[in-house]
Amino acid sequence: EDKVVQSPLSLVVHEGDTVTLNCSYEVTNFRSLLWYKQEKKAPTFLFMLTSSGIEKKSGRLSSILDKKELFSILNITATQTGDSAVYLCAVPYDKVIFGPGTSLSVIP
């Protein structure tokens, strides 16, 4: 059965730390992988990854995909309290399957 797994499920760091969030997947007919950030509302889009080894960056966030090993990582450098959220990984092939999310708490 198709599935998306994320680790860790929760993480507590201090402001300024760098974090790496992991997402692995087992999906037939893979086309892309999506990252979302969810605060106390609906998820908001961060990145779409389709090609291995090409890093996508947006400010302090970056992400990369490894299609051979079937995983992606999301890095956040110099974390801020505003980064506290649940980070969701999703794989669309027809329906879109989400992982359980990583709950990140950044403390001052």
Partner 1 sequence: DTGVSQDPRHKITKRGQNVTFRCDPISEHNRLYWYRQTLGQGPEFLTYFQNEAQLEKSRLLSDRFSAERPKGSFSTLEIQRTEQGDSAMYLCASSFLAEELNFGPGTRLLVL
Contact residues toward partner 1 (CB under 8 A) are: 6, 31-32, 34, 41-45, 48, 88, 90, 92-101, 103
In the block, residue with structure tokens 């001052």? 108
Q: Which is nearer to partner 1, 36 or 79 (CB)?
A: 36
Minimum Å distance from CB 39 to partner 1?
A: 12
Q: Which is nearer to partner 1, 32 or 75 (CB)?
A: 32
Given a contact cutoff of 8 angstroms between Cβ atoms, the answer to whether 58 and 49 are in contact is no
Minimum Å distance from CB 53 to partner 1?
A: 21
Report strand pairing: 102-107 vs 10-14.
parallel
Q: Which is nearer to partner 1, 78 or 96 (CB)?
A: 96
Q: Which two tokens stand for residue 86?
A: 């649940």
Structure letter (DSSP) for residue 83: G
> Can you say how many angstroms the Cα of residue 82 is from the centroid of all Cα atoms in its chain?
16
In the block, residue with structure tokens 């980070």? 87
Minimum Å distance from CB 38 to partner 1?
A: 9
Q: Which is nearer to partner 1, 64 or 101 (CB)?
A: 101
